[in-house]
Structure 1
Amino acid sequence: MKYSGILVGSALSLLAWSCGNNTSEGGQKGTAAGPDILAANLDTTVNPAQDFFDYANGGWIKSNPIPDEQKSWGIAYLVQEDLYNRLKTINEQALKQADNAIAKKIAAFWSSGMDTVALKQQGVEQLQPEMQLIDNIKTKEDVLNVIAQLNRKGFSPLFNGYVAQDDMNSEKMAFNLHQGGLGLPNRDYYFNTDERTRKIREAYPAHIETMLGLAGIADGKNKSAAIFKLETSLAKVSRKLEDLRDPYKNYNKYAVSGLQKLTADIDWKKWLTEAGINNLDTVIVGQPEFFTAINNALKTESIDTWKDYLKWQVIRSTAPFLNPQLEDARFDFYGKTLSGVKKQKPRWKRVLDEEEDAMGEALGQLFVKEYFNEKAKKRYNDMVEDIREALKDRIKKLTWMSEPTKAKALDKLAKMRKKVGYPDKWKDFSAMNIKAQSYVRNVIAAREWWYNYEIAKLGKPVDREEWSMTPQTYNAYYNPSNNEIVLPAGIFTVPGKRDEELDDALVYGYAAASTIGHEITHGFDDQGAQYDAEGNLKNWWTKDDEKNFKARTEVMINQFNKYIAVDDLHVNGKATVGENIADLGGVLLGWDAFVKKEQYKKGEKIAGLNPGQRFFLGYSLGWLYNTRKESLAQQILTDVHSPAKYRVNGPFSDVDAFYEVFKVKPGDGMYIADSLRVRIW
């Protein structure tokens, strides 16, 4: 699913490689290749003023049930189907290109993942190096040393350590320590009392027991109970989803020597050395109380429990790559019970998913040569500037913001970097030890390479040209530390259509509003607005402006808190407020840019729809999803994005132009009184 968003850290339809052939403003070709996609998706039995999402997408949803192997089904999956087939071809061709270094690694990874005969014959013995490390643990100090060594292999048991730009100094790379160590998605699964979450929690220890048994570990019932108890103690001191969104509260810088104040019994200097991290002066701790709790748990939990816990973390992380029995058992819980998925994807798609994580940019190098050209890159570069200009005009006209803050906002907007399509400089994967070996060892080799790649950034200048997504990704992000938007080629794709077949109204809704405008607005949402033009966490607002901004975001929080996503679960307005601000900003900016286009001025209809209607339907196409109840419930607890339905109905209810285009009036389901609508950017 497309979850374009802010990065604190899309498949390119293969029918769209010539998408740089931009149509002239007066010469749209909306019906040139088959039925108009917007008209075809409509459910005309629904009043658009009552429920726009159901009106725009209901026809498609009624005719396209969710496949058994998916937790949801919609636009990203349609695009992804094209992508899978093209990437499969690239892998199969790589098997014949022994003289190409990139192709050779791709072929080795693909072959190991697709060798079902070997996979059926292998088991946990493939994890012997990791299991031996754990078996050798004798003291509490050994527990931490082994965690450090497992980190170097790409595992993250107990807590997360990662490298990122320092929020307070974007010119420096910093090492961060963050809460983690849970086998369930987040802390709420350990404590919420609703029936759905309770059933998942009750099924979890039995799942651990099953997995331990398949791994040949005896006394699984008692061990799973002890593991669950340990995880519950970690969950108790873990912060909630909405609390993790405050960058100031989750930024706590310590000198390495000062970490002893948090954890008197942990020798962090030694741990960092074991983790391959040298000459480090400071560490940024996200949630100090979590690490104090770890210190206490190391004193109270038995060595045997720690060993069992670490084995469980390793097995859970690698089960999909070991053998069918472990993979199926893992899917039974994480796929069926947790997400409501009825069956797994075909193996070849699962291997491609893992290959994307392992070396997706290597695939991307082969991918863009065929499927995304310079003309396409120019079209969307130009569209970014249309949206930038629209926000510039809006900032200048704001009545609630003072001139000094406006000046800084305009400076930040002007300095915002854009990355479109694919990187100009590719990562070098030559040192990644992918070869003719078992699938799980290739996966671990890739994870180990990524760990070393990230750790090597410490003490070096920040590489502001790096991408954190691959060109073939159906997603996008805003990175506050770089003050940049990153728009991979795949995010602009409409499945089954060439770009030149799409009219401006559809494209300005689908791409300019739901993606480009969304990402630019992330620079000015409740999180992004806390970073300055250089990417530093620094307050650039006057006190009155900050107060006005927060009051306006509260209106949005209250609006989304009222939406019921599934059963009696409401959308978490506080956790999702950043994405909701970006959605609303995207719609407004996309509309402002579109009304300057010739198509809007002419007002001619396509497939019975006028330009204004097509714009809002184009945006809604970007959120064409049907989602299982189990997955919706999981999303509410774990995701900072609202469900797809409310990413359409929510922002549209705050957009005056929507009321005019669709004649929304008091009493309609989409109606919010003018005085109660969200007014931010």
Structure 2
Amino acid sequence: MKRHLLSTLTLSMMAAFAAPAMAVDATPAAAAAATAGAKAAAKAEPISGIDTQFIDTSVRPQDDFFTYLNGKWLKETEIPSDKASWGTFMKLRDDTTPQLRAIIEGAQKSRIGAGTEMRKIGDLYTSYMDEARRETLGVKPLSAELSKIRSLKNKAGLPQLAAHLSKIGVATPYGIYVGQDARESTRHVTYISQSGLGMPDRDYYLKMDDKRLAETRAAYEQHVARTLALAGEKNAAAQAKAIVDFETELAKVQWTKVENRDPVKRYNKMTVAELTRLAPGYDWNAALAAAGVGNKLDTIIVSQPSYFTGLNAVLARTELATLKSYFEWQLLREYSPYLSKAFVDQNFAFYGTALTGVTEQQPTWKKGVATVEGALGEPLGKLYVAEHFPAERKARMEELVKNLIVAYGQSIDNLEWMSPETKKEARAKLAKFTPKIGYPDKWRDYSKLDIKADDLVGNVMRSSTFEYNRNINKLGKPIDHTEWGMTPQTVNAYYRSSMNEIVFPAAILQPPFFDMRADDAVNYGAIGAVIGHEIGHGFDDKGSQSDGDGNLRDWWTAEDRAAFKQRTDKLVKQFNGFSPLPGYHVNGELTLGENIGDNAGLSIGYKAYKLSLKGQPAPVIDGLTGDQRFFMGFAQVWRSKMREAQQINQVKTDPHSPGQFRANGTLANMPEFYEAFGVKPGDKMYLAPEDRVIVW
């Protein structure tokens, strides 16, 4: 079930959730007890909040702070066999999954009235957990869709087929969706963007000199063939080769992830006639009409114009039989997790083991929980918040956000490299930031979504169509500023430039990110740096191209933009030098926005921490000064380790740097870190003052 969230920058791409597991009690008494417990914790003697038991004293903090702080954990911890990586984010996700399971199973047992959100949650989970029925059905739930694809008579039918498949969540060579106009954020507009690959990035298809990617590419072709064979195709091997060749041609004309980071280059407003001239071999009027936007638009934003010219040529020279095989494969790829065990296992063999190194599938109940979250994340989140998010946590977070915004404003005022003219614009943007904390003020309406306890594939298709229509129906309607792009149970945070908003779901507001019992130092180093990170996205290389109203607009003087770029170019160079695996380096350009976010988040978080002390000295706790606890609080949230296959996947596709470099690379630029831990010339963490980068 795919969701579109435009111009959104997250803290982490790791899909994680939060909180220690506990039984669910939905009674008012339980909620009152939880609130009372939170109040008591807040009033108790503060603790340091630092996991000192993981410190490795054989490593000097001045040489490798990440390993010094987390070394024992790194040595002693094995990545769970059903995980591609393990660390703070993933553990919180794993800890909270039983909470969600208890809520879902409670809904399942309640059998509350038909059509209610509670009933839908229970029935969707029931449909997923009925493995015996899935075995009996095999590929039958896809029979109608397979027939539709196989009966395609000519290429003239491609626009209608692509639109239909998009509605049920299946990838096609392009995606059509509705979002805020990046230059006129008060209105919705239709976007069209490149899509359609079965592997994570074009490099998996095109880098012929990389042995590991070549092995993955071969495994992918075998996987395609085996999946097609399970669906009854007799010439599966030949079809698979043709499909991979077709996807390779798509990859050749697609923009790179670095190119796609430029919001100005991606904004190409055209009439439908201009789009047709760009790619004349395709019926775009039919495509847009079938997508549901054809009679609602006068212009469309084309994200990658050269791709559509290239796609036009690729479609022209590709045989209809190959295109039909490709669409069949994409359908099977999307729905294999909801079919019989043979399909599930084959899907896992590639997307789990070959691509990420995972050797064991998650238990069925965990995958069932994930399915409910994908379709009914907000209704589930509503129940999660009622059980596991005390009001005091939100109130304290609101205070932290206010302090970070104050500190950010003071930092803007004191920038020596920025002119008063640009500072005024930056301040104006900062004043218009909208924080959202915990959960939405208004919940989505799922009354029109039909869920049946005995129809898993149908449920997934209807859920995808429901979400697709929810997006398309925004066209011509006012912007909904209450909308959230993450569920409350997500351990993550994000900035959305078109809304100029920073969003912190309930589930991230827990240790080690946010500890109600801890002294302020660790909270400002952890969640404070997260808050600063998301604010920083509004002023990174992408976000800084939009104003406080969410519009792409150049509000910089040429001199200030050049000074900004001089600093960010240094950051690119620093991170290009990091290598998590031999032969694989961090892409400093791809990760620049997130690295600026970390750089700004830590710097502004530190300033906010100092403001919170109100001129008083910080207490020494567990022998650690306030500044030491602040930097340790930051570094411990990035505690993580990753399988090699997943590490390759990350450096190729993820705009976030690996955790050890987010910690060490960011700290090495902070003069106050040097003072707190006595970093001197000759130490491995040392950068000469002229080489350190503080952007904001």
TM exceeding 0.5 = yes
2:455 pairs with 1:442: no
The answer for the alignment partner of 2:315 in structure 1 is 298
The answer for the alignment partner of 2:147 in structure 1 is 132
CA contact (8 A) 2:19 2:507 kept: yes
CA contact (8 A) 2:139 2:231 kept: yes
**2:686 aligned to which of 667, 671, 675:** 671
**1:354 aligned to which of 346, 371, 393:** 371
Partners of 1:126 and 1:600 lie apart in 2 by 67
Shift of 1:129: 2.2
CA contact (8 A) 2:97 2:369 kept: yes
The answer for the alignment partner of 1:384 in structure 2 is 401
Shift of 1:37: 4.5
2:299 pairs with 1:276: no
**1:49 aligned to which of 55, 62, 83:** 62
CA contact (8 A) 2:50 2:629 kept: no
**1:13 aligned to which of 10, 16, 19:** 19
The answer for the alignment partner of 2:73 in structure 1 is 60
Superposition TM-score, scaled by structure 1 size? 0.95
Q: Tell me the alpha carbon deviations over residues 277-330 of structure 1, each in whole angstroms, 9 at most, x when there is no partner.
A: 232211111111211222222221111111100000000011111111111111
User: What secondary structure sits across from 2:285 in the alignment?
Assistant: helix
The answer for the alignment partner of 2:186 in structure 1 is 171
Corresponding letter in the other structure for 1:12? A
Q: Tell me the alpha carbon deviations over residues 591-625 of structure 1, each in whole angstroms, 9 at most, x when there is no partner.
A: 11112334994443322322211111111121111
The answer for the alignment partner of 1:231 in structure 2 is 247
**What do you get for the CA RMSD once the two structures are aligned?**
1.9
The answer for the alignment partner of 1:548 in structure 2 is 563
The answer for the alignment partner of 2:541 in structure 1 is 526
Structure 1 window deviating more from structure 2 (260-269 vs 585-594): it is 260-269
The answer for the alignment partner of 1:198 in structure 2 is 214
Shift of 1:154: 2.5
**2:360 aligned to which of 331, 343, 349:** 343
Shift of 1:257: 2.3
Shift of 1:433: 1.5
Q: Tell me the alpha carbon deviations over residues 629-650 of structure 1, each in whole angstroms, 9 at most, x when there is no partner.
A: 1111110100111000000001
Shift of 1:367: 1.1
CA contact (8 A) 2:440 2:483 kept: yes
CA contact (8 A) 2:159 2:286 kept: no
Unaligned runs of 5+ in 1: none
Superposition TM-score, scaled by structure 2 size? 0.93
User: What secondary structure sits across from 2:188 in the alignment?
Assistant: strand
User: What secondary structure sits across from 1:207 in the alignment?
Assistant: helix
The answer for the alignment partner of 1:399 in structure 2 is 416
Q: How does 1:464-475 map to 2 (within 5 A)?
A: 464-475=481-492
CA contact (8 A) 1:14 1:371 kept: no
**1:104 aligned to which of 114, 119, 125:** 119
Shift of 1:498: 9.0
Distance 1:507 1:498, change over 3 A: closer
Partners of 1:37 and 1:445 lie apart in 2 by 46
CA contact (8 A) 2:50 2:632 kept: no
* Runs of 4+ that moved beyond 6 A: 22-25
Partners of 2:421 and 2:516 lie apart in 1 by 43
User: What secondary structure sits across from 2:39 in the alignment?
Assistant: coil
The answer for the alignment partner of 1:260 in structure 2 is 276
User: What secondary structure sits across from 2:620 in the alignment?
Assistant: coil
Q: How does 1:255-654 map to 2 (within 5 A)?
A: 255-277=271-293, 278-494=295-511, 499-513=515-529, 515-598=530-613, 601-654=616-669
Q: Report the identity percentage.
A: 40
Corresponding letter in the other structure for 1:223? Q
Unaligned runs of 5+ in 2: 1-8, 23-33
The answer for the alignment partner of 1:38 in structure 2 is 51
Distance 1:37 1:678, change over 3 A: closer
Partners of 1:646 and 1:158 lie apart in 2 by 35
Q: How does 1:81-92 map to 2 (within 5 A)?
A: 81-92=94-105
Q: Tell me the alpha carbon deviations over residues 76-129 of structure 1, each in whole angstroms, 9 at most, x when there is no partner.
A: 222122211111111111023333511100011100111111122222211122
Distance 1:71 1:610, change over 3 A: same
2:261 pairs with 1:245: yes
CA contact (8 A) 1:94 1:103 kept: yes
How many residues matched?
A: 670
Partners of 2:517 and 2:17 lie apart in 1 by 19
Partners of 2:82 and 2:335 lie apart in 1 by 20
Shift of 1:22: 8.8
CA contact (8 A) 1:504 1:599 kept: no
CA contact (8 A) 2:42 2:517 kept: no
Structure 1 window deviating more from structure 2 (222-231 vs 259-268): it is 259-268
CA contact (8 A) 2:159 2:283 kept: no
User: What secondary structure sits across from 2:551 in the alignment?
Assistant: coil
